[in-house]
Amino acid sequence: MVYSLPEEVLEHVFSFITSDKDRNVVSVVCKSWYEIERWCRRKVFIGNCYAVSPAIMIRRFPEVRSVELKGKPHFADFNLVPEGWGGYACSWIDEMSRSYPWLEEIRLKRMVITDESLELISTSFKNFRVLVLSSCEGFSTDGLSAIAANCRNLRELDLQESEVMDLSGHWLSHFPDTFTSLESLNMSCLGSEVSFSALERLVAMSPNLKTLRLNRAVPLGKLSTLLQQAPQLVELGTGAYSSGIRSDVYSALSKAFLGCKELKGLSGFWDVDPSYLPAFFSVCSRLTTLNLSYATIRSPDITKVINLCPNLQRLLVLDHIEDSGLNALALSCKNLQELRVFPSDMYVADANVTLTEQGLVSVTQGCPKLQSVLYFCHQMSNSALITIAKNRPNLTCFRLCIIEPRTPDYLTHEPLDIGFGAIVKHCKNLSRLSLSGLLTDRVFEYIGTHAKKLDMLSIAFAGDSDLGLHHVLSGCESLKKLEIRDCPFGDTALLANVAKLATMRSLWMSSCAVSIGACKILSRKMPMLNVEVIDENGTLNPKLDNCLVEKLYVYRTVAGPRSDMPGYIWTMDRDSANKI
Amino acid sequence: MTPLLDVEGDGPGNVSLMTSASTMESVFQSNPGLTERNYLGLSDCSSVDSSAGILEVKRSNLNLKATELRLGLPGSQSPGRDPDVDLASSVCLDEKPLFPLLPSQNIVVSGSKRGFSDTVDEGNWMFGSVASKSLVQGKFITDASANGKISSGTQPTMIRDATSKVVPQEQTHATYGASLNKVNTSNPPAAKAQVVGWPPVRSFRKNILATNSKNNDEVDGKPGPSALFVKVSMDGAPYLRKVDLRSYTTYQQLSSALEKMFSCFTIGQCGSQGASGRENLSESKLRDLLHGSEYVLTYEDKDGDWMLVGDVPWDLFIDSCKRLKIMKGSDAIGLAPRAMEKSKNRN
């Protein structure tokens, strides 16, 4: 006899299970658990919006309150995905507006969303609370006006790095006088000025405002006014951080910062005038997050700030920090978990900036909790990488970008295979890795052998042959996302590992050696994959199987081929295949 | 432009892994006649054809017989192969042999596996949308069927949607070419060709830093500012393109790059005006279309006003240009009195 708990009890238990992975596991225990779980799932995360259709999602999970979708491939961030590729939110918004009247949260990343969809959101969901549009595009401030005007219970509006058609700064005025629920606003990506009085009014009537990220156009002189209205802020993104020589601005700002006892995160810092930096020194001891990655201030100034922030957990900064600044970081910030160092000059090493591999080595030595690294630099050595690996086996994310492709170990002139090999060998929980520098097939052998927890791998200008790709596909058991550009990987490795592709979210290969013939074979063998060949130049002749494809994007799906592909994408016509 | 591939015909070839920028340029310049090639040097194809090969795969000492990747391909070219050697992925035992690729070779296969050429007629390849029209350019051979689905013949067929057909030249072509020119004349230290999407920094950040470095006093001695991407739209075109304004130094360069980028849309329009599907447009006809009163190039400046491109000095232009739009001449009348005059002069 099987005694089972009543549904209500199970549902109550399940309500404590919030992680998607755990929920998915729960749902496959047995049929009744599947049923109970699907009725009480409130949050859905869809890592590839084309992997499933809105209808399928709605059919399975009828009571969802929060949806997160991702659209374009990651390399779209670097202009590798042509315009018009897809990632349209429209059909999702349309269907959800009909089926999820109680939807509260929508989070989109790398998707295209129109003003019409934004308006639909604002009028369809009475309890709408959170809108996050991360690296999205296709909409204007008119859409934002609709959101402001109609979402009475809006708590969060985050436009992180989206491309917004900036028609007017007056969208902020559309928040009605009765609107008091705002907790988080990120408009840092907006280009033009917003109406300051509207902004001030909004801040004044939002007692729960915890996060405020301004855009560059908000002058420093106005910042103190806002801070005085919102001393409860936890995260602040400044606007332009300079104001000429104005002692009154400085003292007002200093005083305002003094009042912000809850402030834990600072960002913004566009156009920094170093003489204004001390104005926020009073909050440094509490800071856990600091984003100076748009501030072109020099190492001494950066170091001064860092030395005041012992509780720093997350630092984003330009390479102006130099090795000296990173040494200071290693000494002062023992709680550091994440470091991102961006290049100030994209192409040529700036003679004035001394950022080398040594800075990174220091930080990995001095910061025991460091887990996540993104580091742009011009030189690296195997010995440094080995030291880093041994210093920091707890790394979970290691993204190294040596700016010049195929740069060897600058000391030995060897490939960096053993260096990265040490990383994957020692950092057993590594889930994200980006490679750079001169690399042979060897490094992929190491990765395939050791990187068992690797979830996402980015490869560029590396490897010698198909063997490299084969090592990765056959060895990396947890691999979900693989993106490759400009590597000599081709048909053989791809076709030898077709089953692997069905266990992954997606594979991107551009400027590699994959032929259209192999794509056809892959398509035919794996009907659960969408094999999309991007042919921007129009030079592809799909009849000639030897023809190399420019860009290839393969992903698993239960929704079949998508219907919104632009003309430059080739896929297999399955209907004809079935007729044979 | 040196050929991409340096095929000696025997022995290990040279690996020269070209950047995507240069490969695109080469592809653009290639002629459409494609020859089949075997990338591991097993066939005796001789001529270099850069259009088929975007990259040359290193053919060094990779002993194909020894590598596991050749497993599971019984009947392929190496007779001494043991077809039962197991492979990491067992599904692959069903693989059709990839090599050799020349159709004339008789591939001996065992069991139910078919030769590669037999599989070629399966699977039609079509453009994303279920197309209803077919449109031809000189290069492509299609069964010019007006209907979407084409029954499989001896060759896979492709279907094209006239409205969404694309032959835009990869923007990196102009970028690469133009930045090379620029590099030679003005900025010797920044002699690297700018590879698309490398280093992997978001355009958001690139654009910000570009503006920063302009404002920053310490800009002296910094060679080569970073990219400045703006969107380019065209009336009637289904989607936008992005161009890097810093990769050009004159209006002429920008103009010709845009011409090439958007030529496909213009051809489409021409085709839909009654020309038969197989008509090819000559280059001069195309140029006429773009230079004639049909289209003008406009831009939106920092104040949000739409201006005709070409009135201000180039440096001032890229400073203030937020985005570009290729408008019909008739729409541009309201722009500025000079606009009409200019388009008249072009006729």
pLDDT digits (tens, 9 = 90+) for B124-147: 454 433 333 333 333 333 333 333
Burial (Cβ within 10 Å: 0-12, 13-18, ≥19) of residue B242? middle
pTM: 0.72
Whether residue A343 has pLDDT greater than 90: yes
d(CA B117, CA A3): 60
Q: Which residue has the tokens 């180039």?
A: B314
Nearest CA in chain A to B233: A83
Answer with the residue of higher pLDDT: A396 or A20.
A396
pLDDT of residue A113: 97
Instruction: Answer for the pair A259, A227: CB distance below 8 angstroms, yes or no.
Output: yes
What lies within 8 Å, CB to CB, of A19 at 6+ separation is none
pLDDT digits (tens, 9 = 90+) for A14-40: 999 989 889 999 999 999 999 999 999
Instruction: Return the bridge partners of B299, or none.
Output: B307, B324
What lies within 8 Å, CB to CB, of A183 at 6+ separation is A155, A156, A206, A208, A209, A210, A211
Per-residue confidence band for A74, with pLDDT thresholds at 50, 70 and 90 = very high
DSSP letters for B159-200: E--GGG---PPPHHHHHHHHHHHHHHHT-TT--S---TT-S-
Instruction: Answer for the pair B142, B150: CB distance below 8 angstroms, yes or no.
Output: no
Answer with the residue of higher pLDDT: A453 or B287.
A453
Contact residues on chain B for A493, CB-CB shorter than 8 A: 69
Asked if A537 and B30 come within 8 Å (Cβ–Cβ), the reply is no
Q: Is A565 on the interface with B (CB under 8 A)?
A: yes
pLDDT digits (tens, 9 = 90+) for B259-294: 777 766 554 443 333 333 333 444 445 455 555 556
CA distance B219 to chain A (A): 10
Structure tokens that stand for A452 in this block: 């068992």
Interface of A with B in 354-383 (CB under 8 A): 376
d(CA B343, CA B330): 10
Asked if B166 and A539 come within 8 Å (Cβ–Cβ), the reply is no
Asked if B51 and A493 come within 8 Å (Cβ–Cβ), the reply is no
What lies within 8 Å, CB to CB, of A481 at 6+ separation is A74, A455, A456, A457, A504, A505, A506
pLDDT of residue A349: 67
Q: Is A527 on the interface with B (CB under 8 A)?
A: no
Contact residues on chain A for B101, CB-CB shorter than 8 A: 517, 545-546
- pLDDT (mean) for B76-99: 38
d(CA A264, CA A467): 48
pLDDT digits (tens, 9 = 90+) for B198-237: 999 988 888 777 766 555 444 343 344 556 778 888 877 7
For residue A509, give the H/E element and its range: strand A506-510
- pLDDT (mean) for A450-472: 97
pLDDT of residue B209: 73
The region, left, alpha or beta by phi > 0 then psi within -120 to 50, assigned to residue B9 is left
Average pLDDT, chain A: 94
Contact residues on chain B for A487, CB-CB shorter than 8 A: 17
pLDDT of residue A145: 95
Asked if A542 and B125 come within 8 Å (Cβ–Cβ), the reply is yes
pLDDT of residue A436: 97
Q: Phi/psi of residue A268, each to 5°?
A: 95, -110
CA distance B345 to chain A (A): 33
Structure tokens that stand for B282 in this block: 């000559």
Instruction: Answer for the pair A312, A306: CB distance below 8 angstroms, yes or no.
Output: yes
Helix, coil or strand: residue A237? strand
Instruction: Dihedral sign for Cα B26, B29, B34, B35, please.
Output: negative
Nearest CA in chain A to B149: A576
Instruction: Answer for the pair A240, A218: CB distance below 8 angstroms, yes or no.
Output: yes
Instruction: Answer for the pair A472, B23: CB distance below 8 angstroms, yes or no.
Output: no
Asked if A352 and B156 come within 8 Å (Cβ–Cβ), the reply is no
Asked if A567 and B166 come within 8 Å (Cβ–Cβ), the reply is yes
